[in-house]
Chain A
Amino acid sequence: MNQQVRTISELDRVIHEPGRLIIVTLLYAVERVDFLYLLHETGMNKGTLSSHLSRLEEAGYVEIAKTFRGKVPQTLLRLSPSGRKALERYRRKLKEAL
């Protein structure tokens, strides 16, 4: 197996999925956002977005906090330090492979 193929096979599969890559990339640029922002920005439906977020939370890449804005429930999302490192590693490897 040549070096490029090996690098591609080593890509983080949790982040490599396009939907999750969009979420992680959006979260990378900010401190935190709410669920509505991600829904609006990614164009996904609620179910798909929730499922991707659960997967990212399981991997320890995203921290989810439930809170209230006035009387309205709000879900706040933040990229964890390990999520931040994982995205940086993913981008570096992808650049190497391409």
Chain B
Amino acid sequence: MYDPAGIYAKHPLWYNNIDGVGELGMGFMLLGLGLLGWLGIHAPKGTFWNQGYANLIFLGVMSAVIHYGNKAIKQRITYSRTGFVEYRKRDTVWRPMILGALFAILFSFVLKEALRPHRDLKTLAAVVIGLLFTGSYAYSIARTVRWKWMVVPVLALGFLTIALLPADLVEAVANHSRASGMPPALLGICLLSFLFYGAVLLVSGAISFSLYLRHNQPPAEEAQ
């Protein structure tokens, strides 16, 4: 049944990305993870980027930059222009945790299937990762702002292109290595997918941020 109150209740959740900062954070994270993976594979053995602690330091710094950067933008720009919203723990902790767990289960299923030698590992991985990323973008971002539906076909086309890349090229991206016990083709697909999706999110978030600044002026100074 049509329930306008139920639909309207979703507006505050959509507000979280009104300034595009959510996408920027996610884009930085995926690009950072892609870059970290790339460095770990391509850096000569024994260098800083091959050490386990390097990953921890990199992830720690990246998470801190994203968390505090997001907070600073919200406090200095968003809250003073369009207001402050504090979300319920259910929406900021539990739901993302459940979604993350579901994603991990799906991803491990892909990995398990992909490790069977007779399967077309590269295409299967690219299609599943592409569907997950494109679906999550459409569900959580595109349906909140109409113009972002234009990004969905771009994502689909990009992931299709990644799926159709020659296996040699994909394995070369992973430097033909088996880091973390993953086959090179799967590693290459993961790296390319993370870098591509991260870049798209950054561009989409940057456009949202500039549109937000243009359409929401800063508050007028108080009269002295």
Contacts and interface: CB of A to CB of B under 8 A. Distances in A.
A29 B9 contact: yes
B84 interface: yes
Nearest to B82: A40
A5 to B, nearest CB: 19
B9 A37 contact: no
B87 A31 contact: yes
A23 B121 CA distance: 51
A1 to B, nearest CB: 23
A22 B85 CA distance: 16
A31 B8 CA distance: 16
B88 A25 contact: no
B58 interface: no
Contact of A95 (B3, B13, B82): B3
Given A25-B8, A30-B12, A69 B87 contact: no
A1 B15 CA distance: 43
B5 A25 contact: yes
B8 A22 contact: yes
Contacts of A36: 79-80, 82-84
Looking at chain A's contact residues, is the secondary structure mostly helix, strand, loop, or mixed?
helix
Contacts of A38: 83
Contact of A69 (B8, B10, B79, B91): B79
Given A25-B8, A25-B9, A34 B1 contact: no
B23 to A, nearest CB: 20
A87 B5 CA distance: 9
Contact of A28 (B9, B82, B86, B91): B9
Nearest to B88: A31
A72 B84 CA distance: 13
A52 B77 CA distance: 28
Interface in A1-47: 21-22, 25-26, 28-41
B29 to A, nearest CB: 24
Contacts of B75: 69
Contacts of B91: 29
A26 B1 contact: no
A54 interface: no
Interface of A: 21-22, 25-26, 28-41, 69, 72, 74, 76, 87, 91, 94-95, 98
